[in-house]
């Protein structure tokens, strides 16, 4: 016999009574939305033998660092410790899952690698941070609700509000899905029954109160709001976010870097196709790490040990060992385009063994160049894309403080600064723009600096190498 204690309030209580096929719990950050949905799945799995459930997010890496931590620590901790639930790490044929002693299963996975999670059938599905999903993702997940062990099959989701034209809001307004509006008073961890905040809630609400602009409206107030003075109005998730694809070795590559410690250090790896379109295919976005540590993390992403020296020392690192033979797993960048900090650049060069070049940092021309690339060209396609799942590792500190944790999360809050009289300045608000700065460096390098028709590094021929490639080609190659 398993006793599970949970106090659902408000929207969470409504969720346990809901039987509709599509139910979304939406509201500000910290209202207990995800927790309620996870308890919904867990209690159903405990009480009904043999059901199949799914917990899904846009990317598998974001699922493991957020949703599953909540499940293991706050929802299923007792069941896991007593062996009623155990973790199955997956196999070539099966997706990772939590397996219950009564035969129920909760599969976990990301829509960036949908093969395994979409090959099975389910009774209940929970999509966390559902605003990250496309409508196609959501509808595809819905086709897997046909296991038939539960008398009702249900697709659940939790999310913070996004822009007013998001497909979730439109689908709710049309009556296609039921939206349950969650509020801070629904979360017992942050609010007492009489509505006053707990000590933990006071600390959390102080973080939300410090937010500004559209992020405050969405995460503190729970409003489906669009940012006023949005700089990249042409940005469209459905257009500018693309699925991962094999990158030909002949395509030119660049790295851009925006330094930071308390603020994020950002590395962006870009590739340009033969038609001049840019794709951000890898991103590091981390706080509280030194430049030399970032450099080693970068090398681990692009190099492997081809001939190890065989050292048995506990702290042996092939990337720093002179006796090991390391080789690149992808073409080297044409240039490493950096923020102007001379000390950080010198440190990076010393540890990467690559030269760097100072970014062109003129803000207004750079923004205009990015805006131009976001527009459809003559072939009907824009010339700038972000590859879904490009983020290597989510920064938990940024998640906890409700700050953007990657470039695409910066876009909705990137707005023009306003003068005291209310007139918009020709410069952005300097906050949460580190990835967009690095993005602007990339576009400026190609579109504002210009190009020269010279040979690229060996094995990296391209019809249009950049000026940086001409300057540093031999040293990098």
What pLDDT, on a 0 to 100 scale, did the predictor assign at position 412?
87
- pLDDT at 366 exceeding the cut of 60: yes
Q: Output the pLDDT for position 462.
A: 36
CATH, range 10-219 = 3.40.50.300
pLDDT digits (tens, 9 = 90+) for 122-156: 999 999 999 989 899 999 999 999 999 999 999 99
pLDDT band per the 50, 70, 90 thresholds, residue 374: very high
pLDDT of residue 229: 87
Residue 255 sits at the vertex; the CA angle it makes with 414 and 395, to the nearest 5 degrees, is: 55
pLDDT for 215 equals 87
Using pLDDT thresholds of 50, 70 and 90, give the confidence band for residue 463. Answer: very low
* Beta pairing partners, 271: 253, 279
Cα angle value 386/388/390 (rounded, 5°): 80
- pLDDT tens for 390-446 read 999 999 899 888 899 999 999 988 999 887 776 666 789 998 999 999 999 999 999
Q: Would you place residue 94 in the very low, low, confident or very high pLDDT band (cuts 50, 70, 90)?
A: confident
Q: What's the CA gap between 216 and 209, in Å, rounded?
A: 7
Percent of the chain with pLDDT over 90: 74
Distances 131 to 64, 160, 182, 316, 469 between C-alpha atoms, Å? 18, 8, 15, 42, 39
Residue pointed to by tokens 């391209």 = 462
Place of tokens 């009907």: 380
Q: What does the alpha-carbon distance between residue 302 and residue 410 come to, in Å, rounded to a whole number?
A: 26
Instruction: Collapse the DSSP code of 100 into the 3-class scheme (helix H, G, I; strand E, B; otherwise coil) and give the result.
Output: strand
List, for residues 195-204, the tens digit of each pLDDT value.
899 999 999 9
Q: Which two tokens stand for residue 166?
A: 């998001």
Is the predicted pLDDT of residue 250 greater than 90, yes or no? yes
Domain positions in the chain are 10-219, 237-476
Token representation of residue 257: 């870097």
Residue 456: pLDDT band (50, 70, 90) is very low
> pLDDT tens, 316-328?
999 989 899 999 9
The token pair that represents 199 in the structure block: 């000590």
How would residue 467 be classed by pLDDT, with cut points 50, 70 and 90? Answer: very low
CA 408 to chain centre: 8
Listed in sequence order, the DSSP H helices in 315-389 are 342-352, 363-374
Beta strands 52-57 and 124-127: pairing type?
parallel
Predicted local confidence at residue 422, as pLDDT: 65
Average pLDDT estimate for 449-455: 48
> Do residues 22 and 177 touch, judged by C-beta distance below 8 A?
yes
Which among 452, 453, 460 is positioned nearest to 476, based on CA atoms?
460
Please give the share of the chain, as a percent, with pLDDT higher than 70.
92
Question: What is d(CA 350, CA 7) in angstroms, rounded to the nearest whole number?
Answer: 55
pTM of the model: 0.69
Q: What is the mean pLDDT of residues 333-360?
A: 95
CA proximity to 98, closest of 134, 34, 44, 152 = 44
State the pLDDT at residue 420: 77
pLDDT in the model for residue 423: 66
H or E segment to which residue 382 belongs: none
- Kind plus residue range of the DSSP H or E element containing 16: helix 10-17
Tokens read off for 248: 């030909």
Residue 391 makes CB contacts below 8 A (sequence gap 6+) with 59, 61, 62, 283, 284, 285, 405, 406
Q: Taking residues 13-17, what's their average pLDDT?
A: 95
**Rounded mean pLDDT of 232-258?**
93
Closest CA to 256 of 475, 433, 442, 448: 442
- Bigger pLDDT: 7 vs 475: 7
Q: What angle do CA 108, 110, 114 make, to 5 degrees?
A: 100
Label residue 49 by pLDDT band (50, 70, 90): very high
- What is residue 420's three-state secondary structure? coil
Q: If one looks up domain 237-476 in CATH, what number appears?
A: 3.30.420.280
pLDDT above 60 (res 457): no
């Amino acid at each position: 016999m398993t006793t599970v204690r949970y106090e659902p309030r408000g929207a969470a209580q409504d969720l346990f009574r809901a039987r509709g096929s599509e139910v979304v719990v939406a509201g500000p950050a910290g209202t207990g939305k995800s927790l309620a949905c996870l308890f919904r799945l867990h209690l159903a799995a405990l009480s009904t033998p043999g059901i199949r459930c799914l917990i899904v997010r846009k990317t598998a890496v974001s699922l493991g660092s957020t949703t599953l931590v909540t499940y293991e620590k706050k929802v299923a901790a007792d069941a896991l410790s007593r062996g009623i639930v155990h973790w199955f790490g997956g196999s070539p044929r099966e997706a990772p899952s939590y397996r219950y002693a009564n035969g129920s299963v909760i599969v976990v996975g990301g829509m960036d690698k949908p093969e395994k999670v979409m090959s099975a059938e389910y009774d209940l599905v929970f999509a966390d941070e559902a605003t990250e999903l496309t409508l196609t993702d959501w509808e595809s997940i819905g086709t897997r609700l046909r296991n038939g062990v539960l008398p009702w099959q249900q697709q659940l989701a939790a999310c913070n509000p996004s822009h007013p034209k998001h497909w979730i809001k439109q689908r709710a307004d049309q009556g296609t899905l039921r939206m349950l509006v969650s509020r801070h008073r629904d979360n017992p961890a942050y609010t007492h029954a009489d509505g006053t905040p707990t000590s933990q809630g006071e600390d959390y609400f102080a973080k939300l109160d410090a937010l500004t602009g559209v992020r405050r409206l969405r995460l503190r107030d729970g409003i489906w709001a669009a940012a006023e003075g949005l700089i990249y109005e042409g940005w469209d998730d459905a257009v500018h976010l693309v699925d991962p694809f094999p990158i030909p070795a002949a395509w030119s590559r660049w790295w851009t870097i925006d330094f930071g410690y308390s603020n994020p250090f950002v590395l962006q790896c870009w590739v340009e196709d033969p038609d001049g379109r840019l794709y951000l295919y890898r991103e590091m976005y981390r706080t509280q790490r030194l430049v030399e540590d970032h450099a080693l993390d970068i090398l681990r992403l692009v190099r492997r040990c081809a001939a190890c020296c065989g050292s048995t020392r506990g702290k042996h690192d092939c990337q720093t060992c002179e006796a090991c033979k390391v080789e690149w797993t992808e073409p080297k960048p044409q240039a490493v385009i950096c923020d102007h900090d001379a000390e950080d650049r010198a440190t990076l060069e010393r540890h990467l063994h690559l030269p760097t070049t100072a970014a062109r940092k003129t803000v207004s021309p750079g923004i205009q160049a990015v805006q131009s690339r976001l527009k459809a060209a003559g072939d009907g396609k824009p010339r700038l894309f972000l590859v879904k799942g490009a983020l290597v590792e989510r920064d938990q500190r940024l998640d906890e403080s409700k700050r953007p944790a990657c470039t695409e999360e910066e876009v909705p809050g990137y707005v023009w600064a306003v003068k005291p009289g209310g007139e918009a300045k020709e410069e952005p608000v300097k906050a949460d723009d580190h990835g967009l700065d690095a993005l602007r460096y990339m576009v400026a390098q190609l579109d504002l600096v210009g190009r020269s028709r010279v040979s690229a590094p060996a094995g990296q021929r391209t019809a249009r190498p950049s000026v940086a490639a001409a300057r540093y080609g031999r040293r990098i190659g």
